[in-house]
Structure 1
Amino acid sequence: MDAESFADRSLSQAFALGARTHASSWAAVSSQVRAGTQRLAQLHEQGLRFGEHLRAHGIGPGDIVAVQLPAWIEWMIAAVGIAHAGAVLLPVVSIYGAKELRFILAQSGAKLIVTPDRWRKADYAQTLAEVGRLPALATHVMIGDAAPGTVPWEAMLAPIAVGPAAPRSPDALALLVYTSGTTADPKGVKHSARTILSEIDAVAWSRRDLGAEVAFCPWPPGHVAGALQLMRFLVTGTPVVLMDQWEPGEAAMLVEKYRIVSSSFTPFHLSGLLDAAERDGRDLSSLRSCMVGAAPVPPTLITRCSAQGLKTYRCYGSSEHPTVTTGHPDDIMEKRLTTEGLPMRGTELDFVDDDGQRVPEGMEGELVVRGPELFLGYLDDSLNSAAFLPGGWFRTGDIGRLDQDGFLMITDRKKDVIIRGGENISSREVEDLLFAHPAIAEAAVVAAPDERMGEIVCAYVVPRPGASVDLESVRTHFAQAGIARQKTPERLIVVDDFPRNSTGKILKHELRAQARAQAGKEAA
């Protein structure tokens, strides 16, 4: 089946076909509270019942249903039921509190939400009470000990006559996912069945030579990477192992136990996995496709993986366009170290200047993309005019170019450019140099206000175990590398760890706020 016909269906049709074709395929969940394994056919049948109960609660085509669950089987059951009812799935990060939840539920107009009773430190009945009254939100379905006023999960799976799925266009809104909020308020990103299925198909095509694949998903399904991995199982039947909470030792054990073939990680996840495998003597040799992204990837991490026989490669994507480019395990080391890979099937790339005009071939510019998996637009329509160029090109906000072989090289984010005395400095370039410092394990670079220069380079670093680092050693390191003096950090802040979101991505906006606050204190 070609890519166009594969994506020319609703999610309910795609899920039904997946369940018929891959009935015995399985998903396994590693969890302290809801561990287990389930076959796709059984999961799908429960999802249809859930969908009929949604209808009984007044949910119909186009209605928004929020699912604030960890990576559990129940998340996928809910996804099937929401599609069956013709509703729109709104995944919510499971650790979000009242502030984030209030913004998302109010802006989206969600009519029903599914949560656990408690998970980790969260009490979801209390959280929803703190959110306050939302006129659109009528029903709270709760897994576990249902609080007063909520609908028990078991009631949503009770026997009920299952009718036909609600008709839904492949181009209608099917998934509303919010950006992770590393800058300002999160944005509601709209996807259709066509964009979702195009992504799933493109990923399957890029991994076509892996043979019998068992996938591992460390991503929370409140983020697009996790949601799409779980949907991939529902559509293609690719067996998947899930974790509801990241723990490196457990992850290394799961890779060995299930002979995991493919996974994607942030650098934070992958470094922890390697450390745990070395500590516990775990065998990671089955992991033949190991993608890493969502944050700057230290070349030393790729080299370390190669030394252990793991052919790690990089990728590039976003909530708006989930996978723009990807590397491949068989790419040469230089490409896996320095590039984000080649464009996915059907994806187009170009580069523009600040005025949206194409830059000469080979020159750096803002990356713009379009293709079958590109989102429909933001829920807040006021954001769309600045996000798109004529011709449907999406402005990523990332700076880069193609190398001579057509591989994507990302050099910076526009908002991560430090303007020191009128000169632009790439935070990515400075971070890459800091990664090479023998005493530094992790680094993040932001602009700090400076009365004389406007902005200066401020580096936050996590030292390697047992090592110490100071500004003088960093200056020496940069001087020995022959780097222009103005790119050398002028402020160094040593930390035990960084503020991160639930996928491990460093929250640079918090670091920027800290740098501004510190500069303000010094000025006073």
Structure 2
Amino acid sequence: MKPLPGFAGAEDVRAVEAAPLETWLRGETIPQVLAASAGDFTDEPAYRFYADERLETVAVEESFASLHAKVRAAAALMRSLGVGRTDVVAYLLPGLPQTIEICWGAAEAGIVMPINPFLEPATIAAMLQRVGARVLCIEGPSGTEGTFEKLDAIVALAPCIRHVLVVGEAAASGRAIHYESARDGFAGAVPSAAELPGPGDIAAYFHTGGTTGAPKVAPLTHFNLAAMAFLASYGAGIRRGDRMPCGMPLFHVGGLVMGSLAPFASGACVVQMTRRGYRSPGLLDWFWPFVEREKAAILVGPPTVVIGATQVFQDHMNLGSVRSWVSSAAALPAETHRRFSERTGIPVKEAWGLTEATLVLTFTPPDGASKPGAVGLRLPYCDLAIAAIGADGRPEFLPQGQAGAIVARSPCVFPGYLDAEANGGVLLADGWLNTGDLGCFDEDGYLVISGRAKDMIIRGGHNIDPKVIEEALLAHGGVAMAAAVGLPDRRVGEVPIAFVAPRPGALLDPPELLRSVAAGIEERAAVPKQIVVLEALPLTSVGKVNKQALRLEAGRMAAAAALGLEPAQLRVGDRPGGRVAVSVAPGVALPRSSEAQALLNELGLDFEASMNEEA
């Protein structure tokens, strides 16, 4: 592997592409990448784990050699349980040291499937059954997330599970195996060539909302992940010896690439901030002193964490080690970008991509200019274009500066969803991937994201970009977070409604805020019909604003107004095709069902006499 070149602009991307991609890779499979790093960086620190929320004491530290040995032992354990190349090992684990070794050990032996441990047992079991998972790794009874309490319900609904590995402590269940004891029985294990995967073998299954919204299983190959280890390292400017704090969940591709694989490939040290990372209550209160003590080089976190870190930033700290903050998961509002950099003096380097591309397709050059509102330049070997997608699945490319659907080609594009029928409209002709995002390129080749196709507010057939509304709200000094969605409307289909969370100490009056920001929204149709102030906006498990939860709330509000009820008297839920279904709470008087259905149909909502789940 040649040394990574610099990255200041588009000319550097072209210089990298002058050589074949394989020139830069540490290996073409995950075992090859980890073995090469263990050989080159043997006794250097690869991983540090802080267990306490004040981030004061290192509980675990691993060198590259010791971590690699544990990954190999984990893989050997999986093989002893009958895991072969196409067998699935699932885990329900927080950000523990064992999570890293189990993840990459499972990928060596078979296919790893990380699962969000906060999901309900029935949902988890359905995921396991869908792929026929053979082994389930779970934390023991002392785990603070309460995952072990779900185990009996999960295995009862998922008979595919043959073995349960319990992390952290021995478990009384006859079915369960204590992971650490079993792993240590394979210390020093070395796989045979026949046991190792090839570049085209599937390494991992990730659950994703997909480019069109419904949850899907996205397989990633070993080559996808090995190539992404290089691309993410190059994009972020990761160097040997860097310390990179990780607070992202390790059941998501972003956490596993930026919180393990990419740093490991570059000789950098991952510093895990507690088992729950950024979800740990009060962690941000101790974050900046921790960054100073650790002499962290690159900080990584989604827009919601950028906002929180800005609010708790402390002056007069020695943060000379910090080169950048990498923001991804969602486009960072330009105003939030400016506030952070002005407050901290740290440049923000935005990245953009999706699970179906194994994480990133663009990066703001670490040695180049940052542009608030843009997500950087295309990465090497990644083709990006703006297109209108025809009915035949062929992208029709649009002129420079014109906005449209963002399509991509990359060595890291996944082979297609596990359910092949879901690939329609996603895997396009000539190898293009429909990312589901909308945007355009500026005059310097930086990509500007205008939103998700599914997030567009369609008012009377006219598309309204929610970003226009959100940027205007975030420019107000009292607004910390903002999200705009469509409020069902019987006349024009939907009108904009905005949800905001205040900055600490700010008091927001919705009518006054609406008057204040309306002048900053050039398009009259985009001015919100209503602004709702919440203590905090709902977030997804990876720190994005959960717009679907806000769409459901908007549907509840519209339905309540139509039926003459209070929003709290209604229940709402997702239905196929993005529809919102509405029902009434027990004991609530309602017009005849036919009348309620007619009223709600006018709003584009579905009425159901009863629903089992509430949003």
- TM-score, normalising length from structure 2? 0.80
Which residue in the other structure is 2:161 paired with?
137
Query: 2:84 aligned with 1:29, yes or no?
Result: no
Kindly report the root-mean-square deviation, in angstroms, between the aligned alpha carbons of the 2 structures. 2.3
Matches within 5 A, 1:405-424: 405-424=444-463
Q: 2:75, 2:400 → 1: CA distance?
A: 51
Which residue in the other structure is 1:19 paired with?
38
Residues 393 and 37 of structure 1, relative CA distance in 2, 3 Å threshold:
same
Equivalent residue of 1:388, what SS? coil
Which residue in the other structure is 1:310 paired with?
346
Which residue in the other structure is 1:481 paired with?
520
Query: 2:409 aligned with 1:370, yes or no?
Result: yes
Q: 1:435, 1:503 → 2: CA distance?
A: 21
Please state how far the C-alpha of 1:98 moved relative to its aligned partner: 1.4
Moved more, 483-492 or 163-172: 163-172
Please state how far the C-alpha of 1:203 moved relative to its aligned partner: 2.1
CA contact (8 A) 2:389 2:396 kept: yes
Moved more, 470-479 or 248-257: 470-479
Which residue in the other structure is 1:340 paired with?
375
Which residue in the other structure is 2:223 paired with?
194
Moved more, 488-497 or 302-311: 302-311
Tell me the amino acid that sits aligned with residue 3 of structure 1: L
Which residue in the other structure is 1:299 paired with?
334
Moved more, 336-345 or 294-303: 294-303
Which residue in the other structure is 1:431 paired with?
470
Matches within 5 A, 1:433-448: 433-448=472-487
Q: 2:168, 2:249 → 1: CA distance?
A: 20
Residues 351 and 395 of structure 1, relative CA distance in 2, 3 Å threshold:
same
Please state how far the C-alpha of 1:278 moved relative to its aligned partner: 1.9
Query: 2:132 aligned with 1:103, yes or no?
Result: no
Tell me the amino acid that sits aligned with residue 133 of structure 1: L
Please state how far the C-alpha of 1:217 moved relative to its aligned partner: 1.5
Which residue in the other structure is 2:363 paired with?
326
Tell me the amino acid that sits aligned with residue 18 of structure 1: S
Which residue in the other structure is 1:47 paired with?
71
Moved more, 93-102 or 359-368: 93-102
Which residue in the other structure is 2:584 paired with?
none
Residues 211 and 311 of structure 1, relative CA distance in 2, 3 Å threshold:
farther
Residues 326 and 118 of structure 1, relative CA distance in 2, 3 Å threshold:
farther
Which residue in the other structure is 2:297 paired with?
261
Equivalent residue of 2:424, what SS? helix
Q: Which one of 156, 179, 198 corresponds to residue 208 of structure 2?
A: 179
Matches within 5 A, 1:228-243: 228-229=257-258, 230-243=260-273
Tell me the amino acid that sits aligned with residue 277 of structure 1: F
Residues 183 and 397 of structure 1, relative CA distance in 2, 3 Å threshold:
closer
Query: 2:323 aligned with 1:288, yes or no?
Result: yes
CA contact (8 A) 1:249 1:276 kept: yes
Q: 2:160, 2:261 → 1: CA distance?
A: 27
Query: 2:180 aligned with 1:154, yes or no?
Result: yes
Equivalent residue of 1:325, what SS? strand
Please state how far the C-alpha of 1:250 moved relative to its aligned partner: 3.3
Tell me the amino acid that sits aligned with residue 221 of structure 2: S
Residues 103 and 119 of structure 1, relative CA distance in 2, 3 Å threshold:
farther
Query: 2:91 aligned with 1:67, yes or no?
Result: yes
1:481-503 Cα shifts (integer Å, max 9, x gaps)? 26222111102111001221232
Q: 2:355, 2:202 → 1: CA distance?
A: 15
1:357-392 Cα shifts (integer Å, max 9, x gaps)? 222332111000111111121112111122111011
- TM-score, normalising length from structure 1? 0.93
Tell me the amino acid that sits aligned with residue 414 of structure 1: A
Q: 1:361, 1:298 → 2: CA distance?
A: 23
Which residue in the other structure is 1:115 paired with?
138
Tell me the amino acid that sits aligned with residue 266 of structure 2: T
Equivalent residue of 2:116, what SS? coil
Q: What is the identity percentage for the equivalent residue pairs of Structure 1 and Structure 2? A: 27
Please state how far the C-alpha of 1:185 moved relative to its aligned partner: 4.6
CA contact (8 A) 1:459 1:493 kept: yes
Residues 292 and 208 of structure 1, relative CA distance in 2, 3 Å threshold:
closer
Please state how far the C-alpha of 1:450 moved relative to its aligned partner: 0.7
Tell me the amino acid that sits aligned with residue 476 of structure 1: R
Equivalent residue of 1:337, what SS? coil
Please state how far the C-alpha of 1:462 moved relative to its aligned partner: 0.7
Equivalent residue of 2:375, what SS? coil
1:160-211 Cα shifts (integer Å, max 9, x gaps)? 3724241322011011111268985522111111111111111222345856
CA contact (8 A) 2:236 2:326 kept: no
CA contact (8 A) 2:211 2:435 kept: no
Which residue in the other structure is 1:380 paired with?
419
Equivalent residue of 1:323, what SS? strand
Please state how far the C-alpha of 1:442 moved relative to its aligned partner: 0.8
Q: 2:144, 2:77 → 1: CA distance?
A: 29
1:436-463 Cα shifts (integer Å, max 9, x gaps)? 1222111011001011221000100112
Please state how far the C-alpha of 1:120 moved relative to its aligned partner: 6.0
Higher alpha-carbon Rg = 2
Q: 2:547, 2:211 → 1: CA distance?
A: 7
Tell me the amino acid that sits aligned with residue 296 of structure 2: I
Tell me the amino acid that sits aligned with residue 222 of structure 2: A
Q: 1:260, 1:37 → 2: CA distance?
A: 16
Residues 186 and 30 of structure 1, relative CA distance in 2, 3 Å threshold:
farther
Equivalent residue of 2:69, what SS? helix
Tell me the amino acid that sits aligned with residue 79 of structure 1: C
Please state how far the C-alpha of 1:48 moved relative to its aligned partner: 1.8
CA contact (8 A) 1:49 1:156 kept: no
Q: 2:61, 2:311 → 1: CA distance?
A: 27
Tell me the amino acid that sits aligned with residue 336 of structure 1: K
Which residue in the other structure is 1:93 paired with?
116
CA contact (8 A) 1:461 1:493 kept: yes
1:79-118 Cα shifts (integer Å, max 9, x gaps)? 3422442x11112223333143123212222110111114
Which residue in the other structure is 1:516 paired with?
555
Structure 1 segments unaligned to the other structure (5+ residues): none
Please state how far the C-alpha of 1:352 moved relative to its aligned partner: 1.6
CA contact (8 A) 1:182 1:509 kept: no
Q: 1:135, 1:208 → 2: CA distance?
A: 45
Number of aligned pairs? 520
Moved more, 501-510 or 364-373: 501-510
Q: 1:517, 1:262 → 2: CA distance?
A: 42
Which residue in the other structure is 2:233 paired with?
204
Residues 7 and 390 of structure 1, relative CA distance in 2, 3 Å threshold:
farther
Residues 491 and 337 of structure 1, relative CA distance in 2, 3 Å threshold:
same
Q: 2:444, 2:228 → 1: CA distance?
A: 24
1:278-308 Cα shifts (integer Å, max 9, x gaps)? 28x6543322121112224232322223222
CA contact (8 A) 2:241 2:267 kept: no
Tell me the amino acid that sits aligned with residue 164 of structure 1: P
